Amino acid sequence: MIKPLDHILNVPVYKPGKPVEEVKRELGLSEIIKLASNENPFGCSLFVKKAVEREAVNINRYPDGGAFYLRKELSSFLEIDENQLIFGNGSNDILDMIARAFLDKNSEVLMFQYSFIVYKIVSLLQGATVKEIPVECDFSRNLEKLLESITDKTKVIFIDNPCNPTGFANKKEEFDEFIKNVPDNVLVVIDEAYFEYAKEHGVPDGLNYVNPINPKIPRKNVIVTRTFSKAYGLAGLRIGYAIAQKEIIEILERVRQPFNVNRLAQVAAIEALKDQKFVEFSVKENEKGKEFLYEEFEKRGIHFVPTYGNFIMFKVDDAKMVYENLLRNGVVIRPAFGLDNYLRVSIGTMEENKKFIEKLELLGFKCKI
Ligand code: PMP
């Protein structure tokens, strides 16, 4: 049997939320609610669907590797130079490009404990050393601690803001201070996959560190990654993007696969950007779902972590039992990676949220007040 490189064997395997089709097949169920992957439960813009249909006749041709039209649309939407953007096959693709461009076995990567697992995976694949900074007992993250942990070897810092799975986010003021103090030879990756859900709640807009409006924050090595998978509802098409100084984008372009973003994803993203009403609707409904679930958790004495995203992490005594029982009852949620007593539920439509609570009730989580 052929052997892989030694360091590959130490890399954790990414375990996605179970696909609906798989649960149906394995458990013989016909009705499934998937609240496992922080997708948009309201679908996507109708304009996206029409554009994808129109584009389908061209799928025998390679896509535009430079994403000309999408680049124009996004650059005017964000009010940022076209050469400060790069697109990925999901934002995961960009995280991978960052690791391939900047990390090797001599590099050290910093991330908080319980961050998005992909940072660890892409860094370890490069043979880099990953240092996880402990979070506080309420899952908050101390950015000063992160600063103090930087060494001569630190090359990249990955921060998901908001964090998946905990839902915690650092606020603008502390983030400004952190960015100001990061040494120039360290690259900070701010992963804003849930930005649209969080932006009204005092979190920083990473664009300000890339294209500083506030001159007190000097230009730094910052890459902001975002995605169309969440509030825009395009998870199945795989498209994300990053914003950085053009010199950093030029480096990433060297490791980007030639046609990494497909035709359907490109036209879909253009239409999705144009339909901000759909995004606003999704964010508003998410707020309602969040309040509903908070209340239901509180009534049942279930501890949860307040979230800035479209998912909530909550605590139970036996997470495995609860996860498996919900699954058998047709509700797919997600274990929180590395946190034995916690589960993560994506906020769904109100109907889905109610079903989830009904099924929890069946497992004995009754109202206490
Ligand atoms: N970052 C975070 C924090 C995420 O939760 C996710 C999706 N689970 C991603 C990045 C990757 O998303 P995508 O590749 O779909 O853009």
Domains of the chain: 6-43+277-362 (3.90.1150.10), 48-274 (3.40.640.10)
Region of residue 331 (phi > 0: left; psi between -120 and 50: alpha; otherwise: beta): beta
Of the listed ranges 9-13, 60-64, 87-91, 345-349, the least confidently predicted one is: 9-13
Q: 227 with 197: CB under 8 angstroms?
A: no
Rounded mean pLDDT of 333-361? 95
Mean pLDDT of the chain: 95
Kindly report, residue by residue over 250-276, the tens digit of the pLDDT: 999 999 999 999 999 999 999 999 999
Atom of ligand 1 nearest to the CA of 228: 16
Torsion of CA 198, 200, 202, 205, to 10 degrees: 70
Give φ, ψ of 121 to 5 degrees.
Answer: -60, -50
Q: Which helix (H) or strand (E) holds 365?
A: none
The total of other beta-carbon atoms located within 10 Å of residue 211's CB is 18
| Residue 90 CA, ligand 1 centroid: distance in Å | 7
Kindly report, residue by residue over 187-244, the tens digit of the pLDDT: 999 999 999 999 999 999 999 999 877 667 777 799 999 999 999 999 999 999 999 9
* Structure-block tokens of residue 267: 């036209």
Give φ, ψ of 224 to 5 degrees.
Answer: -105, 125
The per-residue b/e assignment along 191-209, b for 16 or more CB within 10 angstroms, e otherwise, is: bbbbbbbbeeeebbbbbbb
| Residue 238 CA, ligand 1 centroid: distance in Å | 10
Taking the whole predicted model, whether its pTM rises above 0.85 is answered as yes
pLDDT of residue 33: 94
Atom of ligand 1 nearest to the CA of 89: 14
Our mutation pick for probing the ligand 1 site, out of 116, 158, 260, counting the most ligand atoms within 8 A of Cβ, is: 116
Kindly report, residue by residue over 109-120, the tens digit of the pLDDT: 999 999 999 999
Give φ, ψ of 202 to 5 degrees.
Answer: 85, 10
At residue 78, does pLDDT exceed 90? yes
Distance CA 301, CA 295 (A): 10
| Residue 140 CA, ligand 1 centroid: distance in Å | 20
Question: Nearest C-alpha to atom 12 of ligand 1 is from which residue?
Answer: 91
Question: Nearest C-alpha to atom 2 of ligand 1 is from which residue?
Answer: 193
pLDDT of residue 97: 98
| Residue 237 CA, ligand 1 centroid: distance in Å | 13
Distance CA 359, CA 351 (A): 12
**Where does ligand 1 bind, in terms of residues with CB under 6 Å?**
38, 90-92, 116, 160, 164, 191, 193, 227, 229, 235, 240
Give φ, ψ of 312 to 5 degrees.
Answer: -135, 135
**Which of residues 142 and 10 earns the better pLDDT score?**
142
Our mutation pick for probing the ligand 1 site, out of 191, 241, 334, 337, counting the most ligand atoms within 8 A of Cβ, is: 191
Q: 30 with 24: CB under 8 angstroms?
A: yes
